[in-house]
Amino acid sequence: MLADVVLGIQHGDEAKGKVTHYLSKNKDYTHVLRFNGGCNAGHTIYHEGRKFVTHHIPAGVFYGIKSIIGPGCVISPKHFFEEVKELQEAGIQLHGKLFIAKNAHVITENHLVEEKMESKIGTTRRGNGPAYRDKYARKGIRASEVSALNSYMIDLYEEFHNDKTIKVLCEGAQGFGLDVDWGDYPYVTSSHCGLGSVFLNAVDPRWLRDVWGVAKIYETYVGAKSFEPDEPVFQALRDLGEEYGATTGRPRQCNWLNLNELQKSITLNSVNKLVINKMDVVRELGQFKLYHDEKLVDLEGEKEMCDYITAQLPNNIEIFFSEDKNRI
Ligand code: IMP
Ligand code: MG
């Protein structure tokens, strides 16, 4: 029995989808599990040279791995079926591979309508907050109550605890900086985006092997608060990094990497494998800056930046500096 976890450790859009897709290909998992969030997520995946953006559906389906939307998630039947159609039309086999936990909650039409004009938090307007609110107020609807979803139902206790050969890859959504408890409240999402969230989805903590923390070499955030300093360099960064939302198309606000926040996310989520993406973007930009201990550190070049980060992080963490353009 084994569980690996892929987590966003900034504010989402760190390329978790790419990492999950990569690990699905190279490791022999029996399951891929989405454990939090809804169709607010937008995971960009390049599969066999084609671009896909998934919202609900775990990246395991691209390699025929049994993929489950867990009870920690909220699911919009409307968006789910749209996504199913899109993937099937592209030739991705979903039959017998895609399941939804019976006790996942539903994003209803009313939840979607309620969020249509939301602007205070700058949500994705996908009904995520209202669905979680109703779940906790005990007014929600579970997936098992929606007849259209019947053929996708699965009981995760039976699935994971009757078999001694489970190897599950847990695919996080959003990022720890958007976690409802650890993010910058109220500018957060309505679910738990950290490691603890995994274990609310029938995964036994004793199965845990690797926690892949996924970050970018700079930061982005989408939402209502002001995040980006008023400097032209960030517009250049946004364009070079193609930092426009995969779900909503909104421009992502950009800023330099905050090393202290990164350290905090790593510690609170027991990250032992760290992926830092988009090295090619800062290389093209030609500026290598980060915040550390409330100071802006201006580094000479890419190597100096990697060395600086490596030196500040615990040495039992394996670090992978990765490029956007190496699309797997
Ligand atoms: P909600 O999750 O749609 O309620 O949005 C709450 C906050 O999280 C907003 O700032 C969103 O832009 C942000 N957010 C939600 N999902 C994602 C994501 O997948 N990537 C980046 N930001 C997200
Ligand atoms: Mg995204």
pLDDT tens string 53-74: 999 999 999 999 999 999 999 9
pLDDT band at 328 (very low <50, low <70, confident <90, very high): very low
* CB of residue 255 inside a 6 A radius of ligand 1: no
HEC per residue, 39-70? CCCCEEEEECCEEEEECCCCHHHHHCCEEEEC
Residues β-bridged to residue 6: 171, 212
**What is the distance in A from the centroid of ligand 1 to the CA of 248?**
10
Structure tokens belonging to residue 327: 């699309």
Atom of ligand 1 minimally distant from the CA of 40: 16
251-297 pLDDT, tens digit each: 999 999 999 999 999 999 999 999 999 999 999 999 999 999 999 99
Name, in order, each residue with C-beta under 8 angstroms of 196's C-beta and a sequence gap of 6 or more: none
Structure tokens belonging to residue 249: 């198309």
- Strand boundaries in 96-238, DSSP class E: 98-101, 105-106, 153-154, 167-171, 208-216, 218-221
Q: In the 8-state DSSP scheme, what is residue 92?
A: -
Residues identified as active-site: 13, 43
Q: Specify the residue with its C-alpha closest to ligand 1, atom 10.
A: 223
**What is the distance in A from the centroid of ligand 2 to the CA of 164?**
33
Residues lining ion ligand 2 (Cβ < 5 A) are: 13, 42, 246
* CB of residue 121 inside a 6 A radius of ligand 1: yes
Whether the per-residue pLDDT at 19 is higher than 90: the answer is yes
* CB of residue 124 inside a 6 A radius of ligand 1: yes
Cβ atoms of 7 and 176 within 8 Å: the answer is: yes
Beta pairing, strands 167-171 & 31-34: parallel
CA angle 188, 194, 199 (to 5 degrees): 130
Burial class (CB in 10 A: 0-12, 13-18, 19+), 141: middle
What pLDDT score does 199 carry? 98
Cβ atoms of 168 and 203 within 8 Å: the answer is: yes
